């Protein structure tokens, strides 16, 4: 394992879960840092910048969902929820609050490793391509800062999940993007929870772009098919 290997932070109050995840990730070439409490985890974030965080929702000292939302909107790191809460609404809520993925306990550690690898490949491809900012309809999207700059100059933060979704639109302007394509690019599991989470992310992105939901100028819904981004886009 090299010092520049991706660092994965694990937050779970169950020692066996922490051991299982750390062992699988380290065998796969990742570095890990494990925490049992949110207070320890937050102190650790002042000393390190993880490439991805695995967060359990059932924490003894903090609301896991609130922590997920703060990480997603403030840090820009990849956030994957690891939880025993298996109801569709739990998964939808986690994704709505900005998580990039949701893994239900019990899980196969190999699947968690695969999901992390899939998530971390995207920023690597984007960095290789260059152009971490895009301009469209007077707006600027800065993917290094996870921020949207309005035509008037006001900055609005984006979560990692929102920026990922916006990049999908900006990479394929004026072309239909189906739900199947979105699923392939953002990962996750097909089903009602994914569809609802995507609808919520699109709605929040429209709100940040000042869109009229009844007559959107940028992100148009093609009912039964997907979405089209209507503006021209300039990268770099």
CATH of the domain at 212: 1.10.10.10
Token pair in block for residue 206: 């429209």
Q: Is the pLDDT of residue 96 over 80?
A: no
Looking at the fold, whether 137 and 110 belong to one and the same domain comes out as no
Over the stretch 40-77, which tens digit does the pLDDT of each residue have?
999 999 999 999 999 999 999 988 998 998 888 777 78
Percent of the chain with pLDDT over 90: 53
Rounded CA separation 91/135 (Å): 33
Residue 157 lies in a domain: yes
Q: Which of 150, 9, 122 is nearest to 75 (CA)?
A: 9
pLDDT of residue 145: 85
Looking at the fold, whether 36 and 119 belong to one and the same domain comes out as yes
Looking at the fold, whether 159 and 123 belong to one and the same domain comes out as no
As a whole number, mean pLDDT of residues 156-161 equals 84
In the chain, how many domains are there?
A: 2
Is residue 200 within 8 A of residue 96, CB to CB? The reply is: yes
Band the pLDDT of 225: cuts 50, 70, 90. confident
Is residue 111 within 8 A of residue 120, CB to CB? The reply is: no
Band the pLDDT of 129: cuts 50, 70, 90. very low
Looking at the fold, whether 49 and 121 belong to one and the same domain comes out as yes
Rounded CA separation 184/146 (Å): 22
Looking at the fold, whether 15 and 96 belong to one and the same domain comes out as yes
Domain that holds residue 13: 7-127
Tell me the pTM. 0.65
Is residue 57 within 8 A of residue 81, CB to CB? The reply is: yes
Looking at the fold, whether 30 and 123 belong to one and the same domain comes out as yes
Is residue 42 within 8 A of residue 112, CB to CB? The reply is: no
Write the burial class of residue 106 (CB in 10 Å: 0-12 exposed, 13-18 middle, 19+ buried): exposed
Looking at the fold, whether 117 and 161 belong to one and the same domain comes out as no
**H or E segment and range at residue 65:** helix 64-74
DSSP 47: T
Looking at the fold, whether 26 and 120 belong to one and the same domain comes out as yes
pLDDT of residue 120: 83
Residue 26 lies in a domain: yes
């Amino acid at each position: 394992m090299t010092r520049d290997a991706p660092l994965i932070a694990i937050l779970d109050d169950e020692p066996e879960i922490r051991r299982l995840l750390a062992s699988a990730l380290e065998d796969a070439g990742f570095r890990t840092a494990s925490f049992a409490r949110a207070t320890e985890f937050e102190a650790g974030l002042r000393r390190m910048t993880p490439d991805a965080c695995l967060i359990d929702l059932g924490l003894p000292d903090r609301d896991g969902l609130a922590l997920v939302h703060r990480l997603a909107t403030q840090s820009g790191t990849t956030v994957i929820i690891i939880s025993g809460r298996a109801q569709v609404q739990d998964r939808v809520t986690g994704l709505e609050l900005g998580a990039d993925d949701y893994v239900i306990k019990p899980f196969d550690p190999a699947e968690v490793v695969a999901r992390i690898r899939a998530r971390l490949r995207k920023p690597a491809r984007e960095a290789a391509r260059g152009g971490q900012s895009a301009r469209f309809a007077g707006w600027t999207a800065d993917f290094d800062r996870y921020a949207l700059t309005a035509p008037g100059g006001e900055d609005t933060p984006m979560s990692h999940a929102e920026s990922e979704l916006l990049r999908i639109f900006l990479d394929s302007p004026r072309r239909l993007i189906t739900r199947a394509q979105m699923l392939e690019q953002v990962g996750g599991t097909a089903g009602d929870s994914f569809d609802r989470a995507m609808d919520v992310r699109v709605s929040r992105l429209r709100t940040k772009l000042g869109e009229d939901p009844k007559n959107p100028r940028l992100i148009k819904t093609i009912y039964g098919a997907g979405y089209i981004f209507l503006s021209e886009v300039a990268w770099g």
